[in-house]
Amino acid sequence: MICQNCKSVEFYTLANDYIKCKKCAKKFSLKKIEKDILIIQKFCENKTAFEISNELKLNYKTVKDRFDLLRQKIAVYSEDIYNSLIKDNTEYEEFYYLKEREKVKKKKSLSEAINIIGFYSNQKVYTLLMPKIGNRAFDVEDGFIQYLSWYKIHSQNAHQTKLNRFWKFLEKNLKKHKGVDEDNFFYYLKEYEFKFNYKKSEQLEILKSLSFL
C-alpha cells in the first residue's frame, strides 16, 4: 500500500485494525482497504454496482460511488497513456451509439446517436467523443443507412478490425446498465475501452496502483 497523503510505503500496525503512516502519521482502516480491494476485484470481473452490493452485502451507493471514482481514474489514465504514445493510427472508425429505445424504432434518428471515433494504435483501442450530428441527420426510415454509407469515416476493411470487435463489446456491456446518462457516457466508454485493452489481472494491478493500494 502507498499512503494517499504523502505517498510513503512504510506503516505502523495498530491494535484496532488500523495502520499508521510512519512519515505523516495518517491512519488507514484495514477493513476499508480490504473492502476497496474486493470492490476493485469485482469491478474487474465486469459486475455491476447492483450485483456487487448484493453479493458483498454493501450499501449500493457505497459501491456506486467507488465505481464512479474508478471510472474517473480510468479516464485520466487512458487519456494520459494515449497522449504519451507515438501514434500509429492505421485503423480508425467512426461509430454511432444508439440507446436501446432508439434502436427498436423503425424510424431511427442519428440526431439521437452518440458519435464516437475509435483508433487502434500500439495494439490498443482508444476512443474520442465527437460532437453530435444534430440536424444534419436523416430522420427517415432509410436515411440512417444512407447517412452511414455516405459520410461515416472508416479505414479500409474496418469490419475486420479490432475496432469492430470493440464496438460489439461496448454495446453488449452497456446493455447491462439499463441506460447510461449521456452526461456520464464518457466515463462508461473509457471503462470498457480499459477493460477491452487489458486482461483482468492487468486491470486489477493498474486500479490498485491508481487507488494507492
Residue 9, C-beta contacts closer than 8 angstroms, at least 6 positions apart = 1, 2, 3
pLDDT at 91 (0 to 100): 78
State the residue for C-alpha cell 473509457: 190
pLDDT at 171 (0 to 100): 92
Instruction: Determine which helix (DSSP H) or strand (DSSP E) holds 91, and give its type and residue range.
Output: strand 91-97
pLDDT at 102 (0 to 100): 65
| pTM for the model | 0.80
The segments of the chain whose pLDDT lies below 70 read: 87, 89-90, 100-109, 134-160, 212-213
State the residue for C-alpha cell 505517498: 7
Q: Which residue type does 116 have?
A: I
Return the domain boundaries, the chain: 88-201
**CA-only gyration radius of the chain, Å:** 21
For 73-130, the pLDDT digits (tens) are 999 999 998 888 776 766 788 888 887 666 666 666 677 788 898 888 888 999 999 8
pLDDT at 150 (0 to 100): 45
pLDDT at 140 (0 to 100): 45
Residue 44 CB neighbours (<10 A)? 22
Question: CA-CA distances (angstroms) from residue 210 to 10, 69, 205, 207?
Answer: 18, 10, 9, 5
| Start-to-end C-alpha separation, the chain | 4
pLDDT at 153 (0 to 100): 52
